[in-house]
Chains A and B, each alone.
Chain A
Amino acid sequence: MASVRVVTVDRNTYPGIYPILIGLKITLMNMIRTVFLRQAATIQFPEQKRVSSGRYRGIHLLTAREDGTPKCVACYMCATACPAECIYIESGERPEESIEKYPTRFEIDLLRCVYCGFCVDACPEEAIMMSRENDLVGTTRAELIIDRDRLMERGKLAEYGPGYRPSDHDVRRPVRIAALERLKKEHGIVPGMPGR
């Protein structure tokens, strides 16, 4: 263990006008950086948009099977894991013996959602992931309860790109996400690289 070195802080100040001149210099430099060198930390939203990381936890998306139906089998894992209790599912029977079950209703109340991504972690079927869409606006509460069809729309997804999803970095055994490959093939949606 490193020895505990206790350092007493220095309480001395510089005399006279010198520190004030330094302050003015810094302020001026920052002005130059921002106004002339265009190094502002802010952006001009909405004309300009941030590029979010490939793990961004935005609005959810439901992945699809080859025939366009939801991959979700209504196992309720996401609704169970959700700490905000914002996922509502009703299940029904599918004729295919290999699938059996699917969600007849799948709604997420985005006003309750805390975007923690636990639904993605809990999904055993790579059926729910998150997109990088983050600027949804609604004028009523009802508008922000989004349903299965909205979750499966691909228009917005192509614009923003997919976000938080099962990790392809898991050293225990990396995961190949077939649903993402299908998105790329069918909709030309490329999952973003993590980071900028």
Chain B
Amino acid sequence: MASAVETAPTPAGASSPTLRVLRDKLGDGLTGVDEWRGDLAISVSRRAWLEAARTLREHPELDYKLFLDLCGVDWLDKDGHDERFEVVLHAYSVSHKHHVRLKVALPENDPRLDTLSGVYKGANWFEREAWDLYGITFMGHPNLSRILTHEEFVGHPMRKDYETPKRHLLKEAKQWLLKVPEGSEHMIVNIGPSHPAMHGAFRVQVLLDGETIQDAEAEIGYMHRNFEKMAEERSYWQIIPYTDRLNYCSSFMNGHGYALAVEKLLGVPAPPRAEAIRVILSEFSRIMDHFICIGANVVDLGAITPFFVVFRAREAIYDLLEACCGARLTVSYVRIGGLAQDVPDNFDALCKAAVVSVRDVTDQMERLLTRNPIFANRFREIGVMGAEDALSWGWAGPCLRGSGVAYDVRKDHPYSGYEQYDFDVPVGTVGDCYDRYLVRVAEIHQSLRIIEQALTKLPKGPVITDDKKVALPPKSEVYSNIEALMNHFKLVYEGILPPSGEVYGYTEAANGELGYYIVSDGRKFPWRMKVRPPCFAIYAAFSEMIKGGMLADAVAIIGGLNVIAGELDR
């Protein structure tokens, strides 16, 4: 990237042990290094790909244990790119607290690459996605098939030369994901896609021996709308309403993460007041998301009371969001560089009322559930996920912390001023459903602590940056002078024009690390926008988790993973 040369006087990544180790290991297999906006990107040759990924994960000095994301990029006819395709891996080292981006270029006529599914378990689904959307073949992949689109789909929709108006109807849905072994009396049962115990439209087919699950296969994509393709034809701020529809249970956090990623790309921070308000609303959203997860999870177990109890507090939070931005669910409240409007005068009172309500119902919920042996015994020792496996699958958030890994983006890489607030990171010890539940409940309390601190410290000032290339000018100026009017016009029809470059922006969303990998070519629309949806990685592990368990446990486990179809399928 040209701009990287300007911003980094020293050679990119010079001080990084990652680069040193990889250079020693790969020699000329390492083809390029780039460091921009604090992101280290390393390009390797196709032959060195598998070796590079394995070194990243297994070398003690690097220890990139947490798999984050793998995606394709299409550079069709783009200057400066000799090969058409690129595969990009993001990984994180929990022990050394650093991210890495590993890239490999693939030729148009032969887009083949070694699979990483033997290195990172989570790579399995992400590679299927890259194959589905880009037609990149991963050699040695155990099951390289369509994942987000259906099996009768023709072509690879994220390719730049794919004709978007094309429609491909699914005439005959795949009935059997599994096979009954010859001679056995096993039974195949579909859970979902339309089943009250599946929280959204996704499907698991299980092979039952009595009530024991012998085999399971998950199918997703029912809600796929190709958010990422739509984002390639929308200006940076037009994408905001689309992010609301990722994890719609906590829509504000998606927008928050998105805005931060674009702000990182632009190098334009939001003012402190906007950041504090974002933190408050994000934490409230996290609470709502945890409420939904816990409430719906225990409904699956037959306990309907907590569901109604926690929904009372959700109302208070929705009212707060509505007072701020005019919508309850799909808030679209953030803007690049700040917020749409300042909060209303009674913001403080509304927040405090919501805090009281949340405390009240959390207390009730805890007394109903936490120490209740009927509930606890139902949750203990099922869906156990060890720390090592969780990292390899790419789990993050409460699920990863339930497995005992204390990784929280808010603590380890504070954004939006989280470093100012005092809060703890709750972790589990066993990694079962009960731990995940307990972590979520403990996080609700921590979120309330953060909200209360942020409210007392809430700074005064503007809620959007004064950078005229990013934020719309004040309306009164637009009405009354030509300079602001021209500024307004240019920003509306031309949009925000970021520098060319690529960033990975990440935040701690309710389900874990929500990442936005944005590739910009300096124009109005992002060239590539990849969402790292936390529950995609989580749900990928689901069918492995339930194998050997009871059918009824599968239902208990899925609720505790909090898989949201809007985010899963994008």
Contact = CB atoms under 8 A, between A and B. Distances in A.
B376 A13 contact: yes
A105 B419 CA distance: 52
B427 A41 contact: no
A169 B344 contact: yes
Given A41-B311, A80-B492, A195-B344, A172 B238 contact: no
B442 interface: yes
Given A124-B489, A195-B346, A26 B327 contact: no
Contacts of B311: 41
B435 A11 contact: yes
30 contacts: A2-B422, A6-B424, A6-B425, A7-B427, A8-B428, A9-B438, A9-B442, A11-B430, A12-B371, A13-B373, A14-B373, A23-B368, A26-B367, A26-B368, A27-B368, A30-B309, A41-B312, A53-B322, A54-B344, A80-B493, A81-B492, A84-B241, A117-B325, A118-B238, A118-B241, A124-B489, A169-B341, A172-B474, A175-B476, A195-B345
Nearest to B461: A171
Contacts of B117: none
Contacts of B476: 170, 173-176
A151 B234 CA distance: 27
A116 B237 CA distance: 11
A171 B489 CA distance: 22
A172 B325 CA distance: 18
Given A4-B411, A195-B323, A77 B330 contact: no
Contacts of B326: 53, 55-57, 117, 130, 163-164
B414 interface: yes
A124 B424 contact: no
Interface of B: 234, 237-242, 305, 308-309, 311-312, 315, 319, 322-327, 330, 332, 340-347, 350, 364, 367-368, 370-374, 376, 380, 406, 411-412, 414, 419-430, 434-435, 438-439, 442, 460-463, 466, 472, 474-479, 485, 488-489, 492-493
A13 B422 CA distance: 28
Nearest to B357: A41
B376 to A, nearest CB: 5
Given A9-B429, A12-B371, A126-B475, 14 more contacts: A9-B442, A11-B380, A19-B367, A23-B367, A30-B364, A55-B323, A55-B344, A57-B325, A77-B493, A83-B238, A171-B460, A171-B462, A171-B463, A195-B346
Interface in A1-48: 1-2, 4-15, 19-20, 22-23, 26-27, 30, 41
A2 B421 contact: yes
Interface in A126-162: 126, 130
A1 B417 CA distance: 10
A124 B485 contact: yes
Nearest to B342: A169
A121 to B, nearest CB: 6
A55 B322 contact: yes
Nearest to B343: A169
A13 B372 contact: yes
Nearest to A1: B419
A196 interface: yes
Contacts of A77: 488-489, 492-493
A83 B424 contact: no
Contact of A115 (B330, B341, B425, B439): B330
Contacts of B462: 171-172
B364 A11 contact: no
Interface of A: 1-2, 4-15, 19-20, 22-23, 26-27, 30, 41, 52-57, 77, 80-81, 83-84, 114-118, 121-122, 124-126, 130, 163-164, 166-167, 169-176, 193-196
A170 B475 contact: yes
A166 B475 contact: yes
Contacts of B364: 26, 30
B456 to A, nearest CB: 15
B436 to A, nearest CB: 10
A81 B361 CA distance: 41
A111 to B, nearest CB: 15
A84 B364 CA distance: 42
A-B pairs, top 5 by smallest CB distance, nearest first, are A194-B344, A9-B438, A55-B326, A167-B341, A57-B326
Nearest to B304: A27
B414 A1 contact: yes
A19 B371 contact: yes
Contacts of B423: 2
B492 to A, nearest CB: 5
B345 A194 contact: yes
Contacts of A166: 475
Contacts of A125: 479
Contact of A122 (B305, B327, B422, B492): B492
B315 A41 contact: yes
Contacts of A8: 426-429
B341 A170 contact: yes
Contacts of A122: 488, 492
Nearest to A122: B492
A4 B332 contact: no
Given A9-B435, A13-B373, A175 B426 contact: no
Contacts of B374: 19-20
A173 B472 contact: no
A23 B305 contact: yes
A196 B342 CA distance: 17
A163 B477 CA distance: 22
Contacts of A169: 341-344
A124 B488 contact: yes
Given A83-B234, A171-B461, A124 B371 contact: no
A123 to B, nearest CB: 9
A15 B376 CA distance: 11
B483 to A, nearest CB: 13
A11 B376 CA distance: 9
Nearest to B442: A9
A7 B345 contact: no
A13 B476 CA distance: 60
Contacts of B485: 124
Nearest to B376: A13
Contact of A195 (B350, B424, B475, B489): B350
A13 B312 CA distance: 26
A83 B419 contact: no
Contacts of B319: 53, 195-196
B103 to A, nearest CB: 30
Nearest to B377: A13
A173 B475 CA distance: 8
